[in-house]
Structure 1
Amino acid sequence: MPLNHEHQMTILKDILSNQQTDCCGTVSECEQIERLVKSLITNENVQPQIKNVLPDIYAYGQAGKYSANLDDHILSHQQQLTEWMNQLS
């Protein structure tokens, strides 16, 4: 059974929240962020204000996936993570 957009949003928020809190993450999490965002962007049930922030979150996940030091990447995006969490809630 595929996840609906509400479940996808919950998973995305969980990943971002964990990275914000722990200041660390994995390449797999970054790849999951990319997949979730791609799906949410094309979903007509997602609110426009949420869709506006998704490209930035996608770019964050993609840059993290290729980062030489993922923990530093996450640490340098703490402010954005806080803003994104507020916008997604």
Structure 2
Amino acid sequence: MGLNHEHQVHLLKDILTDHQLDCCGTVAEYEQLERVIKSLMANTDLNSNIKHVLEDVYQYSQSGRTANSIDSHIREHQSHLSQWVEEMDSYS
């Protein structure tokens, strides 16, 4: 059984919060972000306001996956990470 959209958003927030708090991550986490976001974007029941946040997080994950230093990439996006989590909270 797959995750419903609420669980998927919670998973995204967990990964982003971990990145923010730990200032480190893995390629696998970025790939998971991308998979979950693709699934959410295909969901027609999803609040349309959250889609712009998902697009930003998707860009973050794509650039992070190919970054020379994942940890540096995360540090560069610290302010965005908390903002994205807050925005997801307000829409979910």
TM-score range, shorter chain: over 0.9
Separation in structure 1 between the aligned mates of residue 86 and residue 2 of structure 2, nearest angstrom: 26
Residue deviations 1:24-78 (CA, integer Å, cap 9, x gap): 0000000000001111111112111111211110010011100110000000000
> CA offset at residue 23 of structure 1?
0.6
What's 1:85 paired with?
A: 85
Q: Structure 1: give runs of 5+ residues left out of the alignment.
A: none
The residue number in structure 1 matching 2:23 is 23
* Structure 2 runs not aligned, ≥5 long: none
In 2, Cα distance between the equivalents of 1:74 and 1:59?
13
- After superposing on structure 2, the runs of 4+ consecutive aligned residues of structure 1 that deviate more than 6 Å are none
Identity of matched residues, %: 49
The count of residues paired between Structure 1 and Structure 2 equals 89
- In 2, the alpha carbon distance for the partners of 1:86 and 1:9 equals 12
| Distance in structure 2 (CA, Å) of the matches to 1:49 and 1:87 | 9
Tell me the SS of whatever aligns to 1:67.
Answer: coil
